[in-house]
Amino acid sequence: MKVFPTLNIRQGFAVPALGEEGSGGPASQPALDLVHRLLARGVSHLGVVDVDAAHGAGHNRPLIGQILKLCRHSDHPVCVQVAGGIRASDQAQFFVDNGAAWLVVGTILHKSPIVVEQLLARFQKHLTAAIDARGGEVHSSGWTSPVGLSAEALAKRVQGYGFRRLLFVDLPGETLPGLADTHPAPDFGTARRLAEATRMPVLMGGSIRTPAHLESAQGIPGLQGVLVDALLYEQEHAFFRGHASPCA
């Protein structure tokens, strides 16, 4: 099982995932400082999400270039996955040139099929298709709007495009004030169905928040990796034990 401690970067800082700022979780911190500590702990996989680029509010490309350089010059191999606002070939080329192993695209799957074709023509082996879903139903527009498509249907569509790797982003469900479940159970059922429907490598993120979630993920057929918020990953030492895998 590949484990990607994943930095969600906003204005140079690693911030809590999925808008959880102020919820009692770990605090934001400078992204480069966190990367240095993760590399010192020997992580073999790393995820980076440019939150600003994803929201069309600038980007952190030079900083991500620095992170990729650190990983290239690490004393052990590190595979890096980059996501967030990758909507053009020149952006993809920048990350590949700087050593990114995988690039994640999501929004353009719905809005820009021509761009998808262009990216696949040049970067197919690097690309991962992200499927954002809640309860098995695909959402877009900041995860608030269902698009009337099941996760499995979109997975078959992107398989037809030529993608060879999927990322299932398990979106948090709605909770009532005062009744929020701190660690709701991940939707492993959808992850399993995606793997069965496509026979493609599937990664899962968004809801893997405890070591128990990680242990459960290892029993899901076809689920080859998980993304864990890097702030949580560093805070919970149990994530470090027994889940190392070679960079590949």
Residue 176 has pLDDT above 50, yes or no: no
Distances (CA, A) of 182 to 23, 172, 230: 9, 11, 18
| 82-126 pLDDT per residue, tens | 999 999 999 999 999 999 999 999 888 877 889 999 999 999 999
User: Residue 128 burial (CB < 10 Å; 0-12/13-18/19+)?
Assistant: buried
Residue 241 has pLDDT above 90, yes or no: no
pTM (2 d.p.): 0.91
Tokens read off for 138: 């695909």
Q: When comparing pLDDT for 20 and 177, which is higher?
A: 20
Rounded Cα distance, 88 and 119, in Å: 7
Rounded Cα distance, 206 and 182, in Å: 13
The yes/no answer on whether domain 2-240 falls in CATH 3.40.50.1240 is no
